[in-house]
Amino acid sequence: MRNEPFGTRLRAIMDARGPLCVGIDPHQHLLDQWGLPDTAEGLASFTYGVVDALADRVGVFKPQSAFFERFGSAGVAVLEQATIRLREAGALVIIDAKRGDIGTTMAGYASAYLAEKGPLACDALTVSPYLGFGSLQPAIDEARAAGAGLFVLALTSNPEGPQFQSARTVDGPTVAGAVLDGLRSLNDADGSSFGSFGAVVGATISRTDEDLDIRGPLLAPGLGAQGGTAEALRAVFGEVAARNVVPSSSREILGAGPNAAGLQEAADRANDAYRTALGY
């Protein structure tokens, strides 16, 4: 049960277990590396291997929905079961699905992922604001009602991102800046020192002039295999926002499997590095 808002629960688990977020991204090459078939059965073995090894020692997990969806209903069932197991172990689950739509369609996504009794109920969901920040309102309302959270795309690490994110709005700020302003307003309205509405800010973007102090979490993908490093996190996020960073790493951790001890060692090593870099 979500007895407290997502931001409160996230801060507590990061303080207790460290800031590391393990991305569960079952690429075909990782299944191959683990000696598993590229099937729903292989997906299940891979996913549950990660869950069994790390669920009680890492605070946050981010399964990438696409790698489960590619196996159809059988793959989505694995995602559902993995989410249940992780949450039962006390970890928080961010489903990385980047949903974005309007009206009742967005409300449908919110009901599936954010409602406490939703079929894919997780702790937070990644969403896309590029139909307008206001299009997220059904997800914002559901998240508030259910004690869940959102991570909204703001400054992503892919090279195509600046084409939209650095463009200026009619009111003057960049699109990314407008998204960050919107998140800051939501968190301020909720009156929490660490809110439930976060931004996705890539760990490989280098420095930015945008104000990243949104009074909420900053999900930072792009670490490890994508080139981001623990040492560079403070350069990207600055002193004010550093403690709010949720550093997400997948292949750096998952490549150490299938042996549970290897996964645990890799996760502990990464978590220690991020603790040091972010001032824990």
Q: Are strands 60-63 and 149-155 parallel, antiparallel or unpaired?
A: unpaired
Distance set, CA 67 to CA 8, 10, 201, 208, 225 (Å)? 29, 25, 22, 31, 18
Catalytic residue among 9, 98, 99, 144: 98
Asked if 98 is an active-site residue, the reply is yes
Any idea of the CA torsion for 77, 152, 8, 270, to the nearest 10 degrees? Answer: 70
Q: Which two tokens stand for residue 131?
A: 């139909």
Give the integer Cα–Cα distance in Å for 38 and 50: 16
In SS3 terms, 105-139 reads as HHHHHHHHHCCCCCCCCCCEEEECCCCCHHHHHHH
| Cβ burial, residue 27 (10 Å; 0-12/13-18/19+) | middle
Give catalytic residue positions: 98
